[in-house]
Structure 1
């Protein structure tokens, strides 16, 4: 018998509100329609899952060194955005014990394979996609995979995502966006992925990613 299985990052806690192991706040950092800081919103969610911050929406009011640096960087990239190479350098500058692996630019199938393998190693992955026929890149946080398990063999085919430009993950339960990249019957990867939110479905390609090793969750400050 075949089963559809969802495998979430071990520090993610599904429930009425998607949460993290050591935070009382729901895991979602909302991006406005006016800014280009999607990469920073994804990083804030990673730091919340890791227990390094408690509430991403409160970093402007906190005086700790980490929150102050995060707030300044968010203000710096608010309109211009941020590359994954710049993000890797910034994470190293934070000096809070997070390791990164970078695929700054890659073809779609290469990026899919990178995200899939890094998630399997228990890392969170910030990845970028663009809609087919456009040049605009958007960053989202991959927190797990869904796939078919048959005869004790698991074949992933769909990424479970937190998209900062979308609302909180309520309609889909464990995520607020999904990226369907493989045919479930065969595991063959599609040329284009199908990106689905509560409001729309797009044809997209992944074109970059950065994985972040969170380690054991810390108690939020």
Structure 2
């Protein structure tokens, strides 16, 4: 008998409000509709899950070195955004124990395979998608996968996401967006992924990703 399984990063705590083991605040940093800082919002959520910051919404008012650097970079990329290559360089500059693996640009199926592999290695993945027929890229944070459990094997077919442009993950419970890249019945990869939020469903393709790992969970500094 087949049944649906959701597997999250070990530091994610599903519940009425999606949480993290090292933070008392809900894990979600919401992006406005006017800025291009989606990559930075995703990085802030990674840092919160890693326990390196406590509440992303307070970085503008903190004096600690890490928060100050993050606030300056967010202001710098607010209108023009940043590439995953630039993000990898910035993470290295932070010197806070994070490691990155980069797929700057790739075909849809290559990007799906990269994200799937990195999630299986317990790494968080910031990935980029664009709606079919458009050129606009948007970054979201992959925190887990959903798939079919059969004969003690897990076959993933969708990514569980935190989309900074969407509201907190309450309507969908464990995430605020889901990207279905395979058909549940057959496991066949879709040509285009189905991207679902509480309000809409889109046909999208993944086109890049960067995974971020941390050696050991840290207690957030206040």
Query: 1:120-140 CA distances to partner (integer Å, 9 max, x unpaired)?
Result: 000000000000000000000
Q: Which residue of 1 aligns with 2:61?
A: 61
Q: Which residue of 2 aligns with 1:33?
A: 33
Q: How many residues align?
A: 221
Partner SS, residue 7 of structure 1:
strand
Q: Which residue of 2 aligns with 1:147?
A: 147
2: CA distance, partners of 1:153 / 1:184: 14
Q: Which residue of 1 aligns with 2:120?
A: 120
Q: Which residue of 2 aligns with 1:105?
A: 105
Q: Which residue of 1 aligns with 2:173?
A: 173
Query: 1:91-129 CA distances to partner (integer Å, 9 max, x unpaired)?
Result: 000000100000000000000000000000000000000
1: CA distance, partners of 2:76 / 2:2: 49
Describe how 1:187-202 pairs up with structure 2 within 5 A.
187-202=187-202
Partner SS, residue 91 of structure 2:
helix
Q: What is the root-mean-square deviation of aligned Cα atoms in Å?
A: 0.6
Q: Which 4+ stretches in 1 moved above 2 angstroms?
A: none
Query: 1:60-95 CA distances to partner (integer Å, 9 max, x unpaired)?
Result: 000000000000000000000000000000000000
Query: Does 2:135 align with 1:131?
Result: no
| TM-score (normalizing by structure 2) | 0.99
Q: Name structure 2 gaps, 5 residues minimum.
A: none
Describe how 1:195-214 pairs up with structure 2 within 5 A.
195-214=195-214
Q: Name structure 1 gaps, 5 residues minimum.
A: none
| TM-score (normalizing by structure 1) | 0.99
Q: Which residue of 1 aligns with 2:81?
A: 81
Cα offset for 1:154?
1.2
Query: 1:143-201 CA distances to partner (integer Å, 9 max, x unpaired)?
Result: 00000011112110010000000000001111000000001222111110000000000
2: CA distance, partners of 1:55 / 1:173: 20
2: CA distance, partners of 1:219 / 1:74: 23
Q: Which residue of 2 aligns with 1:9?
A: 9
